[in-house]
Amino acid sequence: MSGVGQNRRGAWRAALACMVTLAVAMGLGRFAFTPMLPIMLHEGKLQLEAGGVLASLNYLGYFLGAVSCAAIGVKAKSMVRGGLAATAVLLIGMGVLHSFTSWGILRTAAGVMSAWVFVFASGWGLRRLAETNSPALAGVIYTGPGIGIAMTGLLGGALGRWGSEAGWIGLGVLAVVLVALIWRIFDDGDLPAASGSTAAPPAAAGPAASASARSDAIWLVALYGLAGFGYIITATFLPVIARQALPGSPWPDFFWPLFGLAIIPGALIGARAPVHWDNRLLLAVAYALQALGVVLSVAWPTITGFALGSLLLGMPFTAITLFAMRDARRLRGNAAAGLIGYATASYGVGQIIGPLFAAPLAQRTGSFQLPLLVAAAALALGSVLFALVWFRSRRRQAF
């Protein structure tokens, strides 16, 4: 029993450490810009279009970091620690440096670090859970981005009352504290994967099945990019959009942390979705929920509308990633790394395009209404196409 208890404690240590890791790398390092942007706009340090460029540079960094992971041979714990330390420094740098060029470099580097930490911490954490026979705790790991986003929303706005410099530096100091708390846990070792761990089955063999798997893989990569484009406009500009719709209201600063809090139950529920449920149908439902969340901010620009929209956009956020990665493993089994890389790159391209499309258009028209409707249409299209791919697969199996 002591061995079982020790394994359980080790699993929780690993899951919580990775949860905090993703909170720092994703919630703070990647998404702190969202609550800080309206403060920088108010101070006159940025124009909206320039803010869109900085956001896209961060997503470009994430894209570059994601596609470079396969070529990196450094141990996971070293990549995680290095990326976390760099994230804290880059956050503080946003408050210390004051030129647009330096901000662009810092945000690009922060994107690279967030991708590296996400990939290597996920791999380290999921392996540790397999070693301790606790795969169900994967959902705990992926609550991290939501927790980090909620922290940036609540603390960023509060710290920003003393200016954007204080906001950035304060979030950087918070990152230092959180990293110090989990630093030693990544010394738990680089053990080989447990021999009894269950591997995903490889895709079915045979010419017909192979052609079907290739087609499904192409659809997965293409449609996953629509998710990146569809959510990112709201995720980048939500406080700005809400302030435009609700001038003088104290509520706009709370919709972003609400988005983050909604991610937490979504991650836990998504991780427990039965493996026999079809991932494409799950993705279709998740895309439809996000599309509805985006539409609500346009059709019902009230406190209630923004609150419901934030919840509907946030809950499927991490679940979409989980379902997409699970479908990649369905198609490629243990050789899914390449397909996951292509899908992540497609998602990254969507994220890069979103702010570059939305910010100039919103600055010219004075409203985010049209960009948000285009984003909702992209998510709705992805939902319909995933449902059609699923339906076509069911018909093919029937015959």
Statement: residue 287 has pLDDT above 50: yes
Residue 258 burial (CB < 10 Å; 0-12/13-18/19+)? buried
| pLDDT of 179 | 97
pLDDT value, residue 41 = 92
Q: Which pLDDT tens digit goes with each residue over 123-151?
A: 888 888 888 888 788 889 989 999 999 99
- The whole-angstrom separation of Cα 107 and Cα 168 is 12
Q: Given a cut of 70, is residue 209 above it in pLDDT?
A: no
Checking if the pLDDT of 110 tops 80, the result is yes
Over the stretch 27-63, which tens digit does the pLDDT of each residue have? 999 999 998 998 999 899 999 999 999 999 999 999 9
Q: Which pLDDT score is estimated for 394? A: 79
d(CA 52, CA 355): 5
Averaged pLDDT, 255-269: 93
The CA R_g of the chain, rounded to the nearest whole Å, is: 21
Question: What percent of the chain clears pLDDT 70, i.e. is strictly above it?
Answer: 91
DSSP, residue by residue, 42-109: HTTS--HHHHHHHHHHHHHHHHHHHHHGGG--S-HHHHHHHHHHHHHHHHHHHHH---HHHHHHHHHH
pLDDT of 197 over the 60 cut: no
Q: Inform me whether the pLDDT recorded for 188 exceeds 70.
A: no
Is the pLDDT score of 359 beyond 50?
yes
> Is the pLDDT at 211 greater than 80, yes or no?
no
The number of CA neighbours under 13 Å toward the Cβ of 85 is: 7
pLDDT category at 195 given cuts 50, 70, 90 is very low
The rounded distance, in Å, linking the Cα atoms of 305 and 293 is: 9
Burial 324-363 (b: 16+ CB within 10 A, else e): bbbbbbbbbeeebeebbbbbbbbbbbbbbbbbbbbbebbb
CB 20 within 8 A of CB 183: no
Of 337, 329, 347, 334, nearest to 71 by C-alpha is 337
Among 115, 112, 108, smallest CA distance to 94 is for: 108
Band of the pLDDT at 398, cuts 50, 70, 90?
A: low
Q: What is the pLDDT of residue 192?
A: 40
173, with CB counted inside 10 A (0-12, 13-18, 19+), is middle
Could you tell me which of 94, 133, 107, 104 has the C-alpha nearest to residue 3? 133
Mean pLDDT value across residues 322-339: 80
Structure confidence at residue 12 (pLDDT): 93
The answer to whether the beta carbons of residues 259 and 313 sit under 8 Å apart is: yes
Q: Which residue has the higher pLDDT, 276 or 106?
A: 106
The pLDDT mean for the chain works out to 88
Return the number of other C-beta atoms located less than 10 Å from residue 63's C-beta.
Answer: 24
